Amino acid sequence: MNILSICGVAIVSAVFAITLKRHNHELSILISIGAAVIILLSVIEYVISSIESVSTILAQANISTEYVIILLKVMGICFLTEFTCDFVKEAGLDALSGNIALAGKILVLVTSLPMFMEILSVVTKLSGGETLE
């Protein structure tokens, strides 16, 4: 699916959702979620092919994929958190949306800790200090 099709699905869904919002708020939310799922499923093949391309490049360059995997996990957490926060806000639950955003930030921090430790270890080695365990 190209960007024109994606935008078309989004616009048509938005018009239906806005039209139905006054009469049936629940159905309006379901239309929004359905459109988002259709759009996400349509671009998932591009994400998979991009990850495969990056893996191939890393394998050819003899680079460890450990940190790339961490970065991909962090990106996934960010995308999923933003996606969920937007829908929860649309449903009128701003406090819950804020809690989801906080949870996403904490998970990003926890997921990226091994990378931070490695960076800190390299910096201390370069500065002549002791290495971290």
Each residue's pLDDT expressed in tens, for the chain with a length of 133 residues: 788 999 999 999 999 988 988 888 889 888 988 998 899 899 888 888 888 888 888 778 777 778 788 888 999 999 899 989 988 888 788 999 999 999 999 999 999 998 888 888 888 888 886 655 5
Global pTM reads 0.69
**Cα-based distances in Å from 131 to 50, 119, 122:** 36, 11, 8
**Exposed / middle / buried, residue 49 (Cβ in 10 Å: 0-12, 13-18, 19+):** exposed
Domain extent listing, the chain: 1-51, 64-133
